[in-house]
């Protein structure tokens, strides 16, 4: 197992059992509390982070599976909280309780990195499995579409 793990561009020593899920390493060891515990089974999406740019459920991936990988959390998405999706979330009044929002944003960021002109169906398919108990799905879709629209204008 690797002796360090790269999280948000910084190498961190690994001093835990290799079976510890990434979520608990982030929250308990590094105090990156933006990544949330939801279901513990990889089903709800609250714990979504990027592993080498891909949306990944951190509650079910052990530290041992991350050697040589680059992890990005919501804290690492933007140093100032001004990522286009974070701005769009505010502009479209997406959060209510806010619990799932970091996972929603991380999933959307990974999705938009590979599809900057998504259809409604593309967004629905990409975001399926990220559960919002407040039901803000339509606002989430509007926020993602607004960022995709802005990305398309830049090309």
Residues forming a β-bridge with 5:
12
DSSP string, 51-76: ETTEEEETTS-BGGGGTT-EEE-HHH
**DSSP H stretches of helix in 96-136:** 101-112, 120-127
Mean pLDDT by 10 residues, the chain (155 residues): 85 92 97 96 97 98 93 95 95 93 97 94 96 95 95 72
Q: How many whole angstroms separate alpha carbon 9 and alpha carbon 71?
A: 8
Asked if 126 and 108 count as a contact pair (C-beta separation under 8 A), the reply is: yes
Look up residue 58 and give its two tokens.
């951190």
pTM of the model: 0.94
Residue ranges of domains in the chain, CATH in brackets: 4-77 (3.10.20.30), 84-154 (1.10.150.120)
pLDDT in tens, 101-146: 999 999 999 999 999 899 999 999 999 999 999 999 999 999 999 9
What pLDDT is attached to residue 144?
98
């Amino acid at each position: 197992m690797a002796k360090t793990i790269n999280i948000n561009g910084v190498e961190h020593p690994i001093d835990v059992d290799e079976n510890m899920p990434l979520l608990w390493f982030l929250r308990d060891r590094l105090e990156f509390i933006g990544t949330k515990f939801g279901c513990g089974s990889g089903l709800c999406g609250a714990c979504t982070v990027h592993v080498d740019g891909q949306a990944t459920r951190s509650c079910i991936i052990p530290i041992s599976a991350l050697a040589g990988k680059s992890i990005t959390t919501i804290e690492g998405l933007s140093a100032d909280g001004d990522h286009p999706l974070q701005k769009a979330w505010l502009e479209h009044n997406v959060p209510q309780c806010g619990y799932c929002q970091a996972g929603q944003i991380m999933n959307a960021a990974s999705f938009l990195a590979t599809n900057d002109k998504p259809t409604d169906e593309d967004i629905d398919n990409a975001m399926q499995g990220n559960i919002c108990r407040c039901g803000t799905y339509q606002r989430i879709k509007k926020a993602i579409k607004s960022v995709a629209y802005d990305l398309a204008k830049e090309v």
